[in-house]
Chains A and B, each alone.
Chain A
Amino acid sequence: MKCEVCLELLEEYLDGETPSHEQAQVAEHLIACGDCSESCAALAEEQALFARYDRELEVPPFLWTRVAAHTVSENNRPRRGWASVFARPLARVIAIVLLAIAVGVVYLLSRQPTPKPTIAQENNPPIPRDGTDRAQQRDQRAGTSQEDPKPKLVAAQPKSRPRIRPNNKITPADQSDVLSSDLAYLDMDEQDTAKHIEQSQNLLRSIRNVPTPDGDDEIDVSYDKALSRRLLNENVVLRRDAEMKAKFPTKTLLTDLEPFLIDIANLPDRAKAEDVRAIKERVQKTEIVAALIDYQDRGTNNR
């Protein structure tokens, strides 16, 4: 190869964009030619200089806030499913008309005269909806509440129920005093478990798919670790709950899941590749992900 040709190819050669046959020729020439070799070194030095160019530029913290305001904030979420249907003007008009009809029907129904209370009803007034204790109501009907020198302390009822109820006092066997809303909360337990299983499954799949390079490389697992810690706390509560309600398949699954969550939660933020690989292999061997998927597929009726 002549020097002119070599110098012409030098930039591409350093860019790693030379076809393989020419690459070999350039490399061969550079070994033999001192001038071209010097030019190559100078060009490499120049590239290194540019690569270290410091713009002294940081991403300002407020930038995400601004971007989020135009993207992932509630009002700007991409519309999907029914939301996208209602985004269309015609559908929006139809929805408004239907809503107006529904409101009208409810209004008309509410204006219908209510039947006069019967004697029985007068003797048994409706239960007040002010959160008064039932025993207290019985006392009031019996005329004893005014005479009671020690008023009972009634614990304030929470307005919203926590997502996970560690001390669930309602058992399926005894539902005589269960309000309809409590039954709904039983379903919520199932939903909590299902959501927990789904999130755990995503976490384990993420672990299973993480590339683990050979050697002592470190992998940033801070996000997965934080997620695992949260899931671990949930898992303990849900497992105990399942045990109390004799939901043994759920309990077994959550028991099997727990060691994985513990292991991930105990990883350092930048974990050694071999540690991540060990967890990854266990996930693959035990087929825990398949068990979680199976649980989800079976649905709540079979549990």
Chain B
Amino acid sequence: MKPLTVAFAGTLMNSSADLVSRVCQGDSDAFRLIFERYSRPVISFVYDMVNDRALAEELTQETFVRAFRSMHTMRAETKLSTWLFGIARNVARESLRARARANNHVDLGDKSVMDLSDDKPVPVEGLLSKELNELIRRSLAALDDDKRLVFTLKVLHQCSYEEIQMITGFSLAKLKTDLHRARAEMRKRIGAYAGVGYEV
């Protein structure tokens, strides 16, 4: 087997549409290129949703297997990343439903989350500390599913509202409301770190 990073490193010469077409014609190299290109954003997204590394790997695998099997159903006008995120979202949602909610969510009032933050200003240099990454991770986990979904897609993956609507099936109004509330909750938790004290 060829090493992951050598011959199949993502190339701009293979557009997503070309790759999808080639996969439908049985070109396994094309599918590997798709995996190379999108596995990282997909696993990050799934991890943001389930907050569990091992599970995120498993669900990423499931996402790509499902994608491979249904690639011929993908419409030409659909963006590949949006389509993959849609599958990943379904896979993650099924997994979350299967797990006991109590075991997987950090309670909104979880003291441990709030303890990580305090009202003291933190120097900007220290913002990306491990502690802050951990705080963001746990704060994300504390959001409810819909809010976490839209927040992750918009803020962490820079999807457009239109793409988020396609991935989630949410109305624009719900999307905006959830996103606004998710931001407010996240701000409440990391506000002291970011130096954000305003109310929007």
Contact = CB atoms under 8 A, between A and B. Distances in A.
Interface of A: 7-8, 10-12, 15-17, 38-39, 42-43, 45-47, 49-57, 59-61, 63-68, 70-72, 77-78, 80, 206-207, 209-211, 219-224, 226
17 contacts: A8-B200, A10-B200, A11-B183, A43-B200, A49-B132, A68-B28, A70-B61, A71-B28, A77-B28, A220-B11, A220-B12, A221-B12, A221-B13, A222-B6, A222-B7, A222-B11, A223-B8
Interface stretch (B79-87, B141-149, B189-197): B189-197
A49 B13 contact: no
Given A78-B24, A223-B33, 5 more contacts: A17-B160, A55-B137, A57-B44, A57-B56, A222-B6
B54 to A, nearest CB: 10
A72 to B, nearest CB: 4
Nearest to A224: B13
Contacts of B194: 42, 45-46, 49
A207 B18 CA distance: 13
Contacts of B176: 12
A218 to B, nearest CB: 9
Contacts of B15: 209
Nearest to B133: A54
Main secondary structure of the interface of B (DSSP, over half): helix
Given A49-B127, A57-B47, A66-B61, A223 B160 contact: no
B102 interface: no
**Which 3 pairs between the two chains have the least Cβ-Cβ distance?**
A72-B28, A71-B68, A223-B11
B128 interface: yes
Interface of B: 1, 4, 6-15, 18, 24-26, 28, 31-33, 35, 39-40, 43-44, 47-48, 53, 56-57, 60-61, 64-65, 68-69, 72, 127-128, 132-133, 136-137, 154-156, 158, 160-161, 176, 179-180, 183, 186-187, 190, 193-198, 200
B136 A50 contact: yes
A210 B12 CA distance: 7
Nearest to B151: A50
A72 B29 CA distance: 9
B9 A220 contact: yes
A258 to B, nearest CB: 20
A257 B33 CA distance: 27
